[in-house]
Structure 1
Amino acid sequence: MQGEKLSIKTIVAIGIGAAVFVILGRFVSLPTGVPNTTIETSYAFLALMAVLFGPVAGALIGLIGHALKDLIMYGSPWWSWVIVSALVGLFIGLSSNKIKIDEGEFGVKKIVLFNIVQVVAQAVGWFLIAPTLDILIYAEPANKVYLQGLVAGIANMITVGVIGTLLLFGYAKTRSKSGSLEKE
């Protein structure tokens, strides 16, 4: 990977992806009843972009998008959760080489793989890393932040599992299946 540069296409995808993450996080999220914790459609979009453009793009879209959203909505980024958004994008992006969505197939095996990866990434991120960083960085009470992490993690798993899977399925349908073109 040494000397490897990001393509212009990937850089543009990061910029657009971060902007869409902000817009979805700002305008297409629902309150959960737990303070400062919402059901976010932005993570389904993050998952799509991470699978399409890989782990670096996924991490940067999560990092930049979440930091900007927090800056706009709250006046400053909440770094513990921004870091987890980057990690979720990174780890979902690592599955892109196995899922190979550009081949035009997103069948049961790939759907299961995608959802195992996203659930594990989000469980580790939201159930463990985010609350622990909240305690270490912001001295937040443990019971509060672990509840927030649990609710956010479950909500994100469901939105990515449903909306993210549908987005990837729809995208795969727009691609030609590898080996599907025949010479007449």
Structure 2
Amino acid sequence: MKNLSIRTIVAIGIGAAVFLILAKFVAIPTGIPNTTVQTAYAFLALMAVVFGPIAGALIGFIGHTLNDALSYGSVWWSWVFVSLFVGLFVGLLGKRINVENGEFGTKQIISFNLVQAVVQAIGWFVLAPLLDILIYAEPANKVFVQGLFAGISNIITVGIIGTILLVAYAKTRTKSNSLTKE
């Protein structure tokens, strides 16, 4: 934390609060127990790309922890860890996709979506179910169905809403070499 800028620390605090609000109030219920379609991961992806892997990891960790504690009265640590994992690794992508230069075109959109899909597939299809089994002794068939559904819905949500957010954000940035001397 010592090397984080004040801007990044503020982004972590605000980002975690927005993640909590989206997870609590802008989630779509499904027929699968304790599994919803989450818009919070699209916002997490935006924040991770813009502010980097540490901010992404902490926003996912803090926001998910607070949501679980407030919504369910206890924290489901296996899934909190996956939110940290997703924020961290999508944030690492941000170093390759520099939206700060005002560009987020087809090449960046494809790269972003390939990476976020792979990261979320590893997180939700593998890590979340395995941690559920190891930590909570949950039945494998239940947690793999939950992880599969959560992963697919998060990949789609981030692919659509996350891409829209990043395109909109990039449009607010000044393109590199766009200023000319008269």
TM-score (norm 2): 0.99
Please state whether the residue corresponding to 1:161 is helix, strand or coil: helix
Aligned partner of 2:161 among 145, 163, 167: 163
Please state whether the residue corresponding to 1:94 is helix, strand or coil: helix
Q: CA deviation at 1:118?
A: 0.3
The residue correspondences of 1:22-61 to structure 2 (distance < 5 A) are 22-61=20-59
Structure 2 match to 1:97:
95
1:11 aligns with 2:9: yes
Q: Distance in 2 between matches of 1:131 and 1:53?
A: 29
Q: CA deviation at 1:121?
A: 0.5
Structure 2 match to 1:112:
110
Structure 1 match to 2:19:
21
Q: CA deviation at 1:97?
A: 1.1
Amino acid at match of 1:141: P
Structure 1 match to 2:172:
174
Q: Distance in 2 between matches of 1:121 and 1:4?
A: 27
Q: Distance in 2 between matches of 1:59 and 1:122?
A: 13
Amino acid at match of 1:37: T
Q: Distance in 2 between matches of 1:110 and 1:77?
A: 35
RMSD, aligned CA: 0.9
Aligned partner of 1:82 among 70, 80, 83: 80
**Structure 1 gap segments, 5+ residues each:** none
Q: Distance in 1 between matches of 2:111 and 2:179?
A: 27
Q: Which runs of 4+ in 1 moved over 4 A?
A: none
Q: CA deviation at 1:37?
A: 0.3
Please state whether the residue corresponding to 1:30 is helix, strand or coil: strand
Amino acid at match of 2:116: Q
Q: Distance in 1 between matches of 2:120 and 2:96?
A: 19
Structure 1 match to 2:120:
122
Aligned length: 182
**Structure 2 gap segments, 5+ residues each:** none
Q: CA deviation at 1:76?
A: 1.1
Please state whether the residue corresponding to 2:96 is helix, strand or coil: helix
Please state whether the residue corresponding to 1:39 is helix, strand or coil: strand
Q: Percent identity?
A: 69
Q: CA deviation at 1:4?
A: 6.3
Please state whether the residue corresponding to 1:73 is helix, strand or coil: helix
Please state whether the residue corresponding to 1:9 is helix, strand or coil: helix
